[in-house]
Amino acid sequence: MFRNFLSLLALCTMSVLTFAASDHTVKSPNGEIVVTVSENDGQIYYSVSDKGTSFIEKSALGLVMDYADCSKNVSIGEVTYAKLSDNYTVPTIKQRTVSYEANGMTVAVMGKFKVRERWQEVEKDVVMYNLEFSVSNSDVAFRYTIQRPNGDQLLAARVLEEKTEFVIAQGSTTFLCPQMIPMTGFAGTAPSYETGYTPDEEMGKNGWGDGYVFPCLFRNADKGWILISETGTNGSYCGCHMKNINDNKYAIAFPNDKECNGNGKPEPGVTLPTSTPWRTITLGSTLKPIVETTVAWDLVKPVYKASQEYKASRGSWSWIIGMDPSCNYDEQKRYIDFSAAMGYETLLIDALWDVQIGRDRMKELVDYAKSKGVGIFLWYNSNGYWNHAPQSPRLCMDRSLVRRQEMKWLNEIGVRGLKIDFFGGDKQLSMQLYEDILADANDYGLEIIFHGCTLPRGWERMYPNFVAAEAVRASENLHFGQNDCDNEAFCATIHPFVRNTVGSMDFGGSALNKFWNADNKTGNVRRTTDAFALATAILFQSSVQHFALAPNNLTDAPAEAIEFMKRVNTVWDEVRFIDGYPGKYIILARRIGDKWTIVGINAQKEMVVPNVKNFSEFNINLGDKPTIYCDDVKTGALVKKDFKLKKDVLRVEMLSGGGFVIE
């Protein structure tokens, strides 16, 4: 009896100890961000705080595998810590060279599993998965590395459900973009990340019924901001999004079963062991860490070597103003001349070129462009059995066999890159298609832009010939509807905080036409100023940009605007957030070498006059004479002037739909 009591006591002490020991924390190098992992009733939880403020409350973690439900009846095993660092260069993202420093924590999650030993099965405590955390001074990233539960007997599995939750601090508001309902929209091409945002919306809604696309921005009342996303996704997993469970509880969601015309499963199939994509959380008391984050690239690695040096470029694009009829030989020749006149390196020829120009004459056109120093990007339809988008060329990119033949021809005639449109969704088979296209294209030296597509998830670093993706309600909608023109500035002030901060964004804007039409007299009216157009060329980040400029702009747009757009830069060494609020205004600075360019745009009804301070931070000193492009506040016309910096503060006036650029 006494012995039994002793062992009971030991058990109690042990369970108390186990409970205390089951709280494991990892902090950012500066100690401000704290991630706590705990176990309660056989479930694993985590929470995230910054400077003592809770951003993610106790939230469940776990995976349901086809061979075992690893989200319950589990416990914490060995916990190990590591210092993580990486120095890397990706010339095509917002910051060319990144020094990543983080503290790592790996938590083994144990479960019971029947393991065959000789001639019998015995239940053993085994590592089901490792939770890997990486915490830098602005970001938390974590992923599951799923183990083989019984040695070499189980090599393949399906992840039926990922129970990763994000319980957002009470009182937060949302800046979210609803996931589109599959097989809706143009020719069944949804979801394609092309819906809009409602700023400062209350929590507890679930978009249009299918949650929200990454990245997801929340304002933690007046305490700070948090951006949730994922990175490192390739053909080994599906693209995820976020669903609302209730109130402030959100969770990872797999794609809708109806995506891709119902083909393929939403749940990913994996080989064991395997790592899921990283779930990322960027947070801070201001929006600065969110605009400047590099978390999308910090933890991914290149998956193949570049077959050649891929270079940034600027270009023109007839379709955005002239639509389908403009994709003919003569008009494209005129646009090649226009790109050459602008000093641009490329021209993008959009849909229907195979019919309206023809393959034989395309070679002539590419040769002509080459004689003018202009490279050609060609549009392709990605489909395929996944939707009904009819635009040709079709059936050239959907299977490796035809794709490689097509790319061989493209390489032979000297095409520089492709814009591939109308993808089927986020299921694993679609993510595999993205990766296969990129890998094949690298074999033939082609740069790739995706449209009608998913969010890129670290792809600039993973795939060196990946340039940018649309995955945004882009400039085409300005041509399609006046409502989008009326909301242009509002949307533009959101992208730098959300979509564009985690991946290069092919927006195709900076129009100088007053009307979205080739005659520049009819059609939808542009509501933004020319200073706004110049500012967004810098604000929207993508190393390859095809601007919505037209040859007539050489004579009908302000000479100062054309002069600026001729020398506009699309690659940057650094970005620095200055001021702003999603949906209202934004001011940021980008650096190349020792030269900073400061840009701002405004969407508010009233004119905003923010103070831009600390110019010395941007290598502009008292007595210097920087150049400013801004709005004439009476007429909205573009004004270019040099001003002498007398104080270390500048008041810049912006109209609603206006902006400025300081060089």
Shortest distance in whole angstroms from residue 393 CB to Ca ion: 17
Q: How far is the CB of 319 from Ca ion (least distance, A)?
A: 11
Tell me the closest approach of the beta carbon of residue 191 to Ca ion, in angstroms. 12
Cβ nearer to Ca ion, comparing 24 with 546: 546
Residues 240/128, Cβ–Cβ less than 8 Å: no
In the complex, the smallest distance separating the C-beta of residue 453 from Ca ion, rounded to whole angstroms, is 8
Label residue 369 exposed, middle or buried (CB < 10 Å: 0-12, 13-18, 19+). buried
Q: Which residues of 548-559 are buried (b: 16+ CB within 10 A; e: fewer)?
A: bbbbebeeebbe
533 to 562, contacts with Ca ion by CB under 5 A?
none
User: Residues 576, 94: contact at Cβ < 8 Å?
Assistant: no
Taking the least distance from each CB to Ca ion, the nearer of 76 and 418 is 418
Residue 472 CB, shortest distance to Ca ion, in Å, is 9
Amino acid at 425: G
Name the residue nearer to Ca ion (CB basis): 210 or 421: 421
Tell me the closest approach of the beta carbon of residue 470 to Ca ion, in angstroms: 5
Whether the CB-CB separation of 285 and 50 falls below 8 Å is answered with yes
**What residues from 452 to 481 belong to the interface with Ca ion (CB under 5 A)?**
452
Indicate the residue among 452 and 583 with the shorter CB distance to Ca ion: 452
| Residue range at the interface with Ca ion (CB under 5 A); choices 239-247, 289-297, 447-455, 549-557 | 447-455
Residue position matching structure tokens 């002030």: 493
Q: Among the candidate windows 4-12, 147-155, 448-456, 651-659, which touches Ca ion by CB under 5 A? A: 448-456
Under the criterion CB under 5 A, does residue 508 sit at the interface with Ca ion? Answer: no
Which region, judged by CB under 5 A, interacts with Ca ion, from 146-154, 380-388, 451-459, 566-574? Answer: 451-459
Distance CA 424, CA 441 (A): 19
Instruction: Output the smallest distance, CB 502 to Ca ion, in A.
Output: 19
CB of 444 to Ca ion, least distance (A): 25
Nearer to Ca ion, 102 or 352 (CB): 352
Nearer to Ca ion (CB atom), residue 250 or residue 317: 317
Query: How would DSSP label each residue in 354-390?
Result: HHHT-HHHHHHHHHHHHHTT-EEEEEEE--SSS----
Backbone angles phi, psi at 283, to 5 degrees: -150, 160
Q: Name which of 186 and 581 has its Cβ closer to Ca ion.
A: 186
Count of residues in contact with Ca ion, rule CB under 5 A? 1
Of 315 and 452, CB closest to Ca ion: 452
Task: Work out how close the CB of 238 gets to Ca ion at its nearest, in angstroms, rounded to a whole number.
Answer: 21
Q: What is the 3-state secondary structure (H, E, C) of 70-132?
A: CCCCCEEEEEEEEEEEEEEECCCCCCCEEEEEEEEEEEEEEEEEEEEECCEEEEEEEEEEEEE
> In 442-584, where do the E strands start and end?
447-450, 466-469, 544-546, 574-581
**Shorter beta-carbon distance to Ca ion: residue 132 or 476:** 476
Q: Which is nearer to Ca ion, 422 or 444 (CB)?
A: 422
Binding part of the chain for Ca ion, among 85-93, 392-400, 444-452, 558-566 by CB under 5 A, reads 444-452
- The H-assigned helical ranges of 444-567 are 459-462, 476-480, 482-486, 488-492, 530-539, 553-556, 559-566
Taking the least distance from each CB to Ca ion, the nearer of 67 and 186 is: 186
Binding string, 77-116, against Ca ion, x = CB under 5 A? ----------------------------------------
Contact string (CB under 5 A) for Ca ion, positions 395-434, x = contact: ----------------------------------------
- Which of these segments, 48-56, 450-458, 509-517, 630-638, binds Ca ion (CB under 5 A)? 450-458
3-state secondary structure of 585: strand
User: What SS3 state is found at 662?
Assistant: strand
Interface region with Ca ion, contact rule CB under 5 A, candidates 105-113, 342-350, 445-453, 526-534 = 445-453
Minimum CB separation of residue 500 from Ca ion in Å reads 16
Residues 6+ positions from 459 with CB-CB distance below 8 Å: 434, 438, 466, 469, 503
Q: Which is nearer to Ca ion, 292 or 506 (CB)?
A: 506
Interaction residues for Ca ion, span 200-239 (CB under 5 A) = none
In whole angstroms, how close is the CB of 422 to Ca ion at the nearest point? Answer: 8
Nearer to Ca ion, 24 or 479 (CB): 479
Query: What angle is formed at CA 395 by the lines to CA 392 and CA 396, rounded to 5 degrees?
Result: 90
Minimum distance, C-beta of residue 433 to Ca ion, in the bound complex (Å): 17
Least distance (Å) between residue 344 CB and Ca ion: 22
Please choose, from the candidates 309, 369, 299, 341, the residue with its C-alpha nearest in 3D space to the C-alpha of residue 134: 299
Least Å distance, CB 451 to Ca ion, is 5
First and final C-alpha spacing in the chain: 84
Whether the Cβ atoms of residue 599 and residue 587 lie closer than 8 Å to each other: yes
Q: Please give the residue whose beta carbon sits closest to Ca ion in the complex.
A: 452
Our CB check for Ca ion shows the closer of 229 and 382 to be: 382
For residue 519, the number of C-alpha atoms closer than 13 Å in the C-beta half-sphere is 4
Pairing of strands 33-40, 43-50: antiparallel
Of residues 265, 275, 262, 34, the one with CA closest to residue 143: 275
The amino acid occupying position 267 is: E
For the chain, what is the largest distance between any 2 Cα atoms, rounded to a whole number of angstroms? 100
- Three-state secondary structure call for residue 36: strand
> Which residues make up the interface to Ca ion (CB under 5 A)?
452
